[in-house]
C-alpha cells in the first residue's frame, strides 16, 4: 500500500514539475493580479499596486541587458544596499524593452516583496538602481516556454499582437505603446526544463473589468 502511495505521489510530482511551470515558483512572492479576460493564446490581467527596483541598460541586446541589469540587482538583493540587508527572491525578473533604430532601451526590474513595498533599503549609489511604484494597470500576456532570447522574443511579441488583433477585443483593448513590451522570466538561468516566460504589453480601454481608460 505504501509503495503504491509513494509511486502515486512521485508521478504527481513529475506531472506537476513538467506540465505546471507555475509550481516551480510556488512559495516565491509575485505581484498580485486578477485575470479579467482569457483566450487560448493570451489573457488580460489586472495587476494591483506594486513596487520595483530597476536597473536601466542601453544599447545592447536583450540577453546582455538582462544579464547586466540582473547582476546589479543581484548585488542589491544580497546586501548591496545602505542597510546591508538581504532581500528574499521574488518572481518574475521583468525586462522592459523600448526598441530604437540605433540602440534600444532596457529596464530590468526586481519585484519588491510586501515587506518592502513602501520603503525598501536604498541601493548602494554605484549600482545605479531606481525605486519605483506602479499603480493598478492591465497587461496583455502571452506565455511561452524555453529560454528568452533575442531570436525568439520578437516572434512572441508579434504573436501576442496578432492574437489580440484577431479577437473581439481589437476595438476595446488599446496598447499603451505598440512598440514597447516586457519579458517576464520566472526561472533561474541554470534551469533547462520546465521554464516559464511571458510577454507583457500594457493595455487600456477594457473598462468594464477595471482597466484604465486611454488618456
Q: What is the pLDDT of residues 12-34, one digit of tens each?
A: 333 333 333 443 444 689 999 99
| Domain boundaries along the sequence of the chain | 1-27, 28-209
Q: What is the pTM of this model?
A: 0.83
Q: Report pLDDT for 168.
A: 79
Q: What pLDDT score does 67 carry?
A: 94
Give the separation between CA 213 and CA 203, rounded to whole angstroms: 9
For residues 139 and 35, what is the distance between their CA atoms, to the nearest angstrom? 10
Phi and psi, residue 158, nearest 5°: -60, -40
Instruction: State residue 23's pLDDT score.
Output: 38
| Helix, coil or strand: residue 172 | coil
DSSP labels, 110-165: EEPPGGGSS-PPPBPGGG-EEEEEE-SEEEEEEEE-S---TTTHHHHHHHHHHHHH
Q: Phi and psi of 31, rounded to 5°?
A: -60, 140
H/E run at residue 198: strand 197-204
What is the sign, positive or negative, of the torsion defined by CA atoms of 109, 114, 120, 123? negative
- 28-209: CATH class: alpha beta
| Closest-CA residue to 36 (of 209, 213, 165) | 209
Nearest in space to 138 (alpha carbons), one of 173, 114, 184, 183: 173
Q: Collect the ranges in the chain with pLDDT lower than 70.
A: 1-27, 101-102, 170-172, 206-210, 212-215
Amino acid at each position: 500500500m505504501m509503495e503504491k502511495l509513494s509511486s502515486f505521489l512521485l508521478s504527481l510530482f513529475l506531472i506537476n514539475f513538467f506540465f505546471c511551470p507555475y509550481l516551480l515558483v510556488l512559495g516565491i512572492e509575485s505581484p498580485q493580479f486578477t485575470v479579467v479576460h482569457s483566450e487560448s493564446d493570451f489573457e488580460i490581467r489586472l495587476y494591483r499596486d506594486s513596487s520595483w527596483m530597476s536597473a536601466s541598460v542601453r544599447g545592447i541586446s536583450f540577453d546582455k541587458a538582462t544579464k547586466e541589469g540582473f547582476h546589479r540587482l543581484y548585488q542589491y538583493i544580497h546586501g548591496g544596499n545602505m542597510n546591508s540587508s538581504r532581500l528574499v527572491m521574488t518572481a518574475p525578473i521583468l525586462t522592459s524593452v523600448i526598441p530604437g533604430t540605433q540602440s534600444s532601451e532596457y529596464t530590468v526590474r526586481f519585484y519588491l516583496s510586501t515587506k518592502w513595498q513602501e520603503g525598501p533599503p536604498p541601493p548602494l549609489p554605484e549600482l545605479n538602481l531606481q525605486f519605483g511604484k506602479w499603480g493598478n494597470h492591465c497587461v496583455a500576456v502571452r506565455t511561452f516556454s524555453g529560454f528568452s532570447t533575442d531570436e525568439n522574443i520578437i516572434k512572441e511579441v508579434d504573436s501576442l499582437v496578432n492574437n489580440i488583433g484577431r479577437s473581439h477585443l481589437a476595438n476595446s483593448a488599446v496598447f499603451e505603446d505598440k512598440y514597447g513590451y516586457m519579458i517576464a522570466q520566472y526561472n533561474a538561468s541554470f534551469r533547462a526544463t520546465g521554464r516559464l516566460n511571458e510577454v507583457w504589453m500594457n493595455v487600456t480601454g477594457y473598462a468594464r473589468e477595471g482597466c484604465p481608460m486611454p488618456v
